[in-house]
Amino acid sequence: MNDALNPWVPAVSKRAEKIFEDADRVSFAAPKFLALIGSVAARITAMATRAPEPKVTRDEFGAMVRLMLTWEDTGSGWWLQFSVSRTRGEKPRVTVDFHSADRDYSQEKPSQTEIDQALYDYFESWKRSG
């Protein structure tokens, strides 16, 4: 991976490891999330996009836990989020959420094509605005 293009990748992966709890590791959500970060970073680099550093968070909503990788442009209201969610007793699942002024979508178990489209939608809008 081209760390010169997106030098935030190692730091974001390390920060992600610090937010995991034992249950995330046992349920395989943690390794799936780290693989997702690597995959998304590789796709961004393949697109030759210099991306801002995303935010990594862990939230609990009752019995559900979400590990999230989020880019947000607060000025425009756009955001792109990749997450790995798990509920007790269920396998972790990947979701991509995109929101802008003219488009809004969410896809559970996204294909590589759908991940690429979400990255394109967000970063092309981001590049045009800056």
Residues 29-84 pLDDT 10s: 899 999 999 999 998 888 877 788 999 999 998 888 999 999 998 777 789 999 99
Residues 11, 76 contacting (CB under 8 angstroms): no
Q: Which residues pair with 97 in a beta bridge?
A: 81, 106
- Could you state, in order of their start, the residue ranges of all structural domains in the chain? 9-129
Question: Crossing angle, helix 29-46 and helix 112-129, to 10 degrees?
Answer: 60
Is the per-residue pLDDT at 2 higher than 60?
A: no
Is the per-residue pLDDT at 130 higher than 80?
A: no
3 state SS of 46 = helix
**Which residue, chain included where needed, has tokens 């730091």?**
11
pLDDT bin (cut points 50, 70, 90) of residue 1 is very low
Is the per-residue pLDDT at 116 higher than 50?
A: yes
The letter for the amino acid at 25 is: R
Q: Please tell me the distance from the alpha carbon of residue 105 to that of residue 66, in angstroms, as a whole number.
A: 18
pTM score, whole prediction:
0.87
The letter for the amino acid at 114 is: E
